């Protein structure tokens, strides 16, 4: 490589060594930032016209060339060469090949430092919205299943032990609530990220591009960054994006774990559609929830990426350091992982078949109605601490005789405690237990219906946010 192929060579007596360039050159995945770099170049060209470094005709010529380059890059007609150090070098090389010395004028007033920060910000703001739209598809799948199972009874668990009956829709929507918060976190992140680093140049601000507020608005930002050193030297917006996506992957992993359990022969709650399951190369009878397992496994990549960027940022001095190039690897990994995981999970959830009869049968396994006994006693005026002890004795009595709470006779009840009578039997059905939980946020069907309606309204507003974006988008 010669010094003519890099943006920084004239101060040096020799070109960079192959070893340096092998380490320094951007990974192939980084060149996906080309559309965002080009968008910023359009805006910067207008800034140079305003600053008087380009005539209007020169600015128009550069914009025309940039548009052609964008089309050719998108079509794969133009690709980076082995001598292009990064996306900025690549695009400047092509521009100069098209326009000669005029193409070289575009570099005035900016630095790779503010370009690099800006390109990734634009990419993440664009793809953050794509992730939201993809997650909303999974949300709709959960809502679709929940609507079918408002009155389907299932055992609720704590500590992976049967606890109390719940509506299966309520269990599904518990996951939807977590994903709704993930989208809210993405929206909050975007609000803090909507400041442009352009105009910061290397670190001190530009002596030429002095109206960064105009280019900021052109690129869909709210304003430019307040401090030029912070603009190029900070990547907390990348760390926060990685937290949001890592938290999303953790929530996906929890749903995946439940699907894995639900579809097992031990649970038998659901059956996966053949199109969303796999088999075994040796055991013909197997039907595996591979989507769930792969989702659970790939969550490790996203939590690892968050750890990587936090460690890279720790202790960095002043403005820009090359350590910050690690931001792209982690960010792209998060985007790429979610782009395949979310559609697969959405399809799996939407097409799964629920075994209502088995759910209903298991809803009372493990004395899940015991709390109904304690609540019934409390409504009769028995202090709950005492009601709890009586109920525990009743459960032990049933265990010793191999019967369930629904099998208790009048004599059985009286043997345990004289205050227990047959009227308690009205409370000892899973239907009654679920209906009784009719406070806000409870599992009673009417409350779950209301929850579903609120969630769907939230989906609409979140979708509208994701689609309403004035910044550059690729593809």
Whole-angstrom Cα distance, residue 10 to residue 204? 22
Residue 281 known to be catalytic: no
Report CA-CA distances (Å) from 398 to 372, 386, 439. 15, 19, 30
Q: What secondary structure letter does DSSP report for 264?
A: S
Task: Count other Cβ atoms within 10 Å, centred on residue 46.
Answer: 19
Please confirm, yes or no, whether 149 is among the known catalytic residues.
no
Q: Out of 81, 264, 280, 461, which one is annotated catalytic?
A: 280
DSSP 17: P
**3-class DSSP string for 92-124:** HHHHHHHHCHHHHHHHCCCCHHHHHHHHHHHHH
Query: Hey, how many other C-beta atoms are within 10 angstroms of the C-beta on 98?
Result: 16
Is 62:46 a contact under the CB 8 Å cutoff? no
Of 10, 14, 159, 385, the active-site residue reads 159
CB neighbours of residue 347 within 10 Å: 17
Name the residue among 16, 46, 47, 44 with its Cα closest to residue 112.
44
Which residue, 92, 80, 107, 103, is CA-closest to 25? 80
Catalytic residue IDs = 159, 280
């Amino acid at each position: 490589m010669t010094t003519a192929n890099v943006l920084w060579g004239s101060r040096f007596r020799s070109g960079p060594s192959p070893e340096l360039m092998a380490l320094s050159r951007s990974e192939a995945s980084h060149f996906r930032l080309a559309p965002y770099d080009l968008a910023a170049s359009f805006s910067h060209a207008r800034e140079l016209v305003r600053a008087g470094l380009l005539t209007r005709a020169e600015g128009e010529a550069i914009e025309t060339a940039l548009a052609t380059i964008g089309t050719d890059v998108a079509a794969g007609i133009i690709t980076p060469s082995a001598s292009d150090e990064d996306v900025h070098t690549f695009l400047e090389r092509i521009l100069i090949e098209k326009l000669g010395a005029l193409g070289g004028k575009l570099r005035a007033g900016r630095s790779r430092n503010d370009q690099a920060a800006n390109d990734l910000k634009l990419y993440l703001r664009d793809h953050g919205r794509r992730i939201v739209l993809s997650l909303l598809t999974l949300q709709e799948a959960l809502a679709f299943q929940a609507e079918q199972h408002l009155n389907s009874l299932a055992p609720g668990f704590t500590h992976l032990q049967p606890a109390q009956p719940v509506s299966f829709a309520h269990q599904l929507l518990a996951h939807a609530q977590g994903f709704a918060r993930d989208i809210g976190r993405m929206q909050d992140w975007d609000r803090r990220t909507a400041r442009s680093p352009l105009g910061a140049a290397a670190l001190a601000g530009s002596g030429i591009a002095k109206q960064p507020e105009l280019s900021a608005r052109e690129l869909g930002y709210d304003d430019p960054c307040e401090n030029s050193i912070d603009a190029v030297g900070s990547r907390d917006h990348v760390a926060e994006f990685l937290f949001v996506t890592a938290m999303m992957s953790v929530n996906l992993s929890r749903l995946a774990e439940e699907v894995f359990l639900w579809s097992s022969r031990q649970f038998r709650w659901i059956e996966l559609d053949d199109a969303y399951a796999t088999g075994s190369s040796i055991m013909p009878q197997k039907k595996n929830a591979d989507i769930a397992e792969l989702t659970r496994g790939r969550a490790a990549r996203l939590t690892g990426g968050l750890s990587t960027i936090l460690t890279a940022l720790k202790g960095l001095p002043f403005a820009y350091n090359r350590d910050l190039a690690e931001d792209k690897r982690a960010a792209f990994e998060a985007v790429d992982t979610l782009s395949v995981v979310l559609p697969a999970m959405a399809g799996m959830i939407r097409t799964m078949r629920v075994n209502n009869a088995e759910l209903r049968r298991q809803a009372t396994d493990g004395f899940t109605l015991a709390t109904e006994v304690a609540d019934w006693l409390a409504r009769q005026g028995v202090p709950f601490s005492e009601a709890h002890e009586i109920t525990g004795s009743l459960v032990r009595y049933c265990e010793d005789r191999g019967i369930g709470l629904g099998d208790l006779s009048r004599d059985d009840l009286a043997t345990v405690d004289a205050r227990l009578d047959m009227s308690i039997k009205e409370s000892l059905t899973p239907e009654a237990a679920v209906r009784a939980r009719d406070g806000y946020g409870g599992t009673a069907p009417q409350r779950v219906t209301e929850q579903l309606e609120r969630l769907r309204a939230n989906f609409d507003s979140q979708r509208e946010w994701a689609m309403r974006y004035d910044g550059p988008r690729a593809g």
